[in-house]
Amino acid sequence: MSGVNTTLSKAEADGLVLALDRTEVLAATVAQLRKDLDLGEADLPLPAVSNAAFESLRAHVLHALERWQRIGSTGLSRAINRVDLTERMVDAAMSRGGFSELAGMMVLRCLQKVLLRKHFAQKG
Protein backbone atom coordinates (compact mmCIF):
# COMPACT_ATOMS: atom_id res chain seq x y z
CA MET A 1 0.00 0.00 0.00
CA SER A 2 2.97 2.32 -0.30
CA GLY A 3 1.39 4.00 -3.32
CA VAL A 4 -1.65 5.18 -1.35
CA ASN A 5 -2.07 8.95 -1.26
CA THR A 6 -2.38 9.97 2.39
CA THR A 7 -2.54 13.73 1.92
CA LEU A 8 -5.63 15.85 1.56
CA SER A 9 -6.01 18.13 -1.41
CA LYS A 10 -6.73 21.78 -0.67
CA ALA A 11 -10.32 21.30 -1.86
CA GLU A 12 -10.78 18.30 0.47
CA ALA A 13 -9.32 20.18 3.42
CA ASP A 14 -11.45 23.26 2.67
CA GLY A 15 -14.55 21.07 2.47
CA LEU A 16 -13.77 19.53 5.85
CA VAL A 17 -13.22 22.93 7.45
CA LEU A 18 -16.70 24.03 6.33
CA ALA A 19 -18.17 21.34 8.60
CA LEU A 20 -16.86 23.30 11.61
CA ASP A 21 -19.71 25.76 10.97
CA ARG A 22 -22.02 23.25 12.66
CA THR A 23 -22.04 23.59 16.45
CA GLU A 24 -22.24 19.86 17.16
CA VAL A 25 -19.38 19.08 14.76
CA LEU A 26 -17.18 21.79 16.24
CA ALA A 27 -17.87 20.62 19.81
CA ALA A 28 -17.21 16.98 18.89
CA THR A 29 -13.97 17.93 17.10
CA VAL A 30 -12.74 19.84 20.15
CA ALA A 31 -13.62 16.86 22.35
CA GLN A 32 -11.72 14.52 20.00
CA LEU A 33 -8.69 16.82 19.96
CA ARG A 34 -8.72 17.08 23.76
CA LYS A 35 -8.89 13.30 24.05
CA ASP A 36 -6.23 12.53 21.43
CA LEU A 37 -3.85 15.25 22.59
CA ASP A 38 -4.60 14.83 26.29
CA LEU A 39 -5.41 18.54 26.65
CA GLY A 40 -7.77 20.20 29.09
CA GLU A 41 -10.37 22.85 28.48
CA ALA A 42 -7.92 25.60 29.42
CA ASP A 43 -5.41 24.35 26.84
CA LEU A 44 -8.02 23.90 24.11
CA PRO A 45 -11.13 26.03 24.65
CA LEU A 46 -14.19 25.66 22.45
CA PRO A 47 -14.04 28.47 19.89
CA ALA A 48 -17.10 30.30 18.65
CA VAL A 49 -18.71 28.90 15.54
CA SER A 50 -17.25 31.12 12.84
CA ASN A 51 -14.93 31.18 9.86
CA ALA A 52 -12.06 31.52 12.36
CA ALA A 53 -12.80 28.29 14.28
CA PHE A 54 -10.27 26.20 12.34
CA GLU A 55 -7.47 28.73 12.80
CA SER A 56 -8.31 29.05 16.50
CA LEU A 57 -8.05 25.28 16.95
CA ARG A 58 -4.84 25.16 14.92
CA ALA A 59 -3.28 27.90 17.08
CA HIS A 60 -4.07 26.04 20.31
CA VAL A 61 -2.79 22.73 18.94
CA LEU A 62 0.33 24.50 17.66
CA HIS A 63 0.96 25.91 21.13
CA ALA A 64 0.78 22.38 22.60
CA LEU A 65 3.10 20.96 19.92
CA GLU A 66 5.67 23.69 20.48
CA ARG A 67 5.50 23.18 24.25
CA TRP A 68 6.08 19.43 23.89
CA GLN A 69 9.01 20.01 21.57
CA ARG A 70 10.54 22.67 23.83
CA ILE A 71 10.47 20.49 26.95
CA GLY A 72 11.51 17.35 25.08
CA SER A 73 8.32 15.59 26.05
CA THR A 74 7.14 12.31 24.57
CA GLY A 75 3.79 14.10 24.24
CA LEU A 76 4.57 15.05 20.64
CA SER A 77 5.10 11.50 19.40
CA ARG A 78 2.21 10.25 21.53
CA ALA A 79 -0.07 12.94 20.03
CA ILE A 80 0.92 12.02 16.47
CA ASN A 81 0.12 8.38 17.17
CA ARG A 82 -3.19 9.07 18.92
CA VAL A 83 -4.39 11.41 16.19
CA ASP A 84 -3.49 8.59 13.78
CA LEU A 85 -1.16 10.39 11.41
CA THR A 86 1.19 8.29 9.31
CA GLU A 87 4.89 9.03 9.09
CA ARG A 88 4.35 10.14 5.50
CA MET A 89 1.62 12.59 6.56
CA VAL A 90 3.84 14.04 9.29
CA ASP A 91 6.82 14.38 6.94
CA ALA A 92 4.67 16.08 4.29
CA ALA A 93 3.16 18.49 6.81
CA MET A 94 6.55 19.36 8.29
CA SER A 95 8.07 20.00 4.86
CA ARG A 96 5.13 22.19 3.80
CA GLY A 97 4.92 24.40 6.87
CA GLY A 98 6.46 22.91 9.98
CA PHE A 99 4.53 22.66 13.22
CA SER A 100 1.82 25.04 12.01
CA GLU A 101 1.01 22.70 9.13
CA LEU A 102 1.23 19.67 11.43
CA ALA A 103 -1.19 21.33 13.87
CA GLY A 104 -3.62 21.98 11.02
CA MET A 105 -3.31 18.37 9.87
CA MET A 106 -4.12 17.19 13.39
CA VAL A 107 -7.24 19.35 13.51
CA LEU A 108 -8.33 18.03 10.10
CA ARG A 109 -7.68 14.41 11.10
CA CYS A 110 -9.77 14.76 14.27
CA LEU A 111 -12.50 16.46 12.24
CA GLN A 112 -12.41 13.50 9.82
CA LYS A 113 -12.84 11.09 12.74
CA VAL A 114 -15.88 13.03 13.96
CA LEU A 115 -17.48 13.19 10.51
CA LEU A 116 -16.87 9.49 9.84
CA ARG A 117 -18.36 8.52 13.19
CA LYS A 118 -21.38 10.76 12.49
CA HIS A 119 -21.80 9.32 8.98
CA PHE A 120 -21.78 5.71 10.15
CA ALA A 121 -24.03 6.47 13.13
CA GLN A 122 -26.66 7.80 10.72
CA LYS A 123 -26.41 4.69 8.53
CA GLY A 124 -26.84 2.32 11.47
CB-based contact 112:16 (threshold 8 Å): yes
Closest CA to 68 of 82, 54, 50: 82
Q: What is the pLDDT of residue 1?
A: 38
5-26: average pLDDT: 75
How many residues are there in the chain? 124
DSSP letter, residue 19: G
* Tens-place pLDDT, residues 55-93: 999 999 999 999 999 988 788 899 999 999 999 999 999
Higher pLDDT, 61 or 21: 61
Query: How far is Cα 23 from Cα 123, in angstroms, rounded to an integer?
Result: 21
* Tens-place pLDDT, residues 85-116: 999 999 999 999 999 999 999 999 999 999 99
pLDDT band for position 8 (cuts 50, 70, 90): low
pLDDT at 19 exceeding the cut of 90: no
